[in-house]
Amino acid sequence: MSKMSKYAAFAVAMLAGLGSANAGVIFTSVAFDAAPAPGEVMVVDFDHPNAAGYSMTWANAGLYQGPLVPGIAAPPVGDNTKYLSVFTGGSATLHTPAILKSLSVYLGSIDSYNLITFHGQNGFNQSFTGTQLNTPANGDQFDALTNRRFYFAFNLSDLVNQVTFSSSGNSFEFDNIAANDPPAPVPEPITLSLFAAGLAGAAAMRRRRKLASA
C-alpha cells in the first residue's frame, strides 16, 4: 500500500473512530519516518523549541544523537537528529495545551516491553505494548517493520491531552512528534450578534463622550 493510500486509510479510520463514543484510540503505521498526517504539525523534535504550549517531562531517559550506544540507545533508522531514549523503568510524558484530535510519532527499534499510554482529562487511559503496536516487536534496529511512524486518532470525547512513553527494558526510542488540535469552536450566531451589539454600543458611547466634551 502506498504512503498516500495509508494516509487515506488513516483518515477513514479516524473519522470512524470519532463517530463512535466507545472507539478509543485507533492507529496505523508507515515504514520509517514518513510525513505527519494531514492537519498535523510538528510539536516536539528535540532539536528545536517545542511548539507553544507543548512540553516533555521525563525520568530515567536521555537525549541522544549519532551512532548506536549498545544496550542504551539506538537511533531510529535514518534519524540523524536528537531523539529520546527511555530506559528500564523510565518514562517520558508529552503534555499538550489542548485536547488532541490526532498524533503521530516516529518509533525506533520497537520492543515488546515498550509501552505508550494515552491519558484524557476525564480519566480516560488506553495503553499499547510494543507487541500490540507491531509484530514483530523484537527491537531490530534496521528493519522497516520495527522502525515506523505511527498515526493515532482519538475520539474527542476521551479528551486526550497527555501521552506517556515507558519501558520495562532498555530502551524505548522515539522522535518527531506531530499533533493536530481540534479547531476552536465557531461562535454561534447569537454569540456573534451579541458581540456585534457590544461593539456598536461601545462606538455609540465614544460618540456621546466626544459630543459632551465639544
Residues 13 and 65 both lie in one domain: yes
pLDDT at 182: 82
Task: Kindly give, in sequence order, each residue whose CB lies less than 8 Å from that of residue 144, ignoring residues fewer than 6 positions away.
Answer: 31, 32, 77
Query: At 108, which CATH number?
Result: 2.60.120.1360
Range of the domain at 57: 3-183
Q: Is residue 203 over pLDDT 60? A: no
pLDDT at 103: 98
- Summarised one tens digit per residue, pLDDT across range 101-132 is 999 999 999 999 999 999 999 999 999 999 99
Top pLDDT among 213 and 80 is at: 80
Instruction: Note if the bond before 136 is cis, omega within 30 degrees.
Output: yes
pLDDT at 183: 73
Domain count, the chain: 2
Residues 157 and 173 both lie in one domain: yes
User: SS3 string of 102-163?
Assistant: EEEEEEECCECCEEEEEEECCCCEEEEEHHHHCCCCECCCCCCCCCEEEEEECCHHHCEEEE
Mean pLDDT of all residues in the chain?
A: 85
Residues 132 and 73 both lie in one domain: yes
Residues 81 and 117 both lie in one domain: yes
User: Dihedrals φ, ψ of 172, to 5°?
Assistant: -125, 105
Residues 192 and 139 both lie in one domain: no
Query: For the residues 200-214, what does the mean pLDDT come to?
Result: 56
- Summarised one tens digit per residue, pLDDT across range 150-164 is 999 999 999 999 999
H/E element holding 44?
strand 41-44
Question: With contact defined as beta carbons under 8 Å apart, do 26 and 11 qualify?
Answer: no
Q: Is residue 173 over pLDDT 80? A: yes
pLDDT at 197: 54
Residues 33 and 104 both lie in one domain: yes
Q: Strand, coil or helix: what is 170?
A: coil
Residues 192 and 170 both lie in one domain: no
| Cross-strand partners of 163 | 94, 118
Query: For the residues 30-56, what does the mean pLDDT come to?
Result: 97
